[in-house]
Amino acid sequence: MAYDWELQALGIMPDHVHIFLQSDHLTTPVDIAKTLKSISAVQLFTKFPKLKARKFWGSGLWSRGTYYASVGHISEEAIRQYIETQKDRE
């Protein structure tokens, strides 16, 4: 299935992920997060089946916590720069 989303920036940290993407106005952030978590978990468990057999059986790969924000009071460039410099802040 194809989604009409455009990835603007991605930052992968040891304990969380920053994703900045553009979607249509009808798709809710909750639906985007559920979809991304589901697709990535299936791909990881397919490639590394022992993960599911041991540590993540029944508990899932991703935590339930999420944070959503939209571009409005700051610029898209500020968001991109924030994501790209996260590793420098650690």
What does the domain layout of the chain look like in residue ranges? 29-89
CB 45 within 8 A of CB 52: yes
Structure tokens belonging to residue 3: 């989604």
Q: What are the distances in angstroms from CA 16 to CA 26, 31, 32, 38, 82?
A: 26, 18, 16, 16, 14
Q: Is pTM, for the whole model, over 0.85?
A: no
Average model confidence (pLDDT) for the chain? 84
pLDDT at residue 58, rounded to an integer: 62
pLDDT in tens, 16-49: 889 999 999 899 989 999 999 889 888 988 898 8
30 vs 59, higher pLDDT: 30
Asked whether 5 and 19 are in contact (CB, 8 A), the reply is no
Q: Which region holds residue 58: left if phi is over 0, alpha if psi is between -120 and 50, else beta?
A: left
Percent of the chain at pLDDT > 90 equals 23
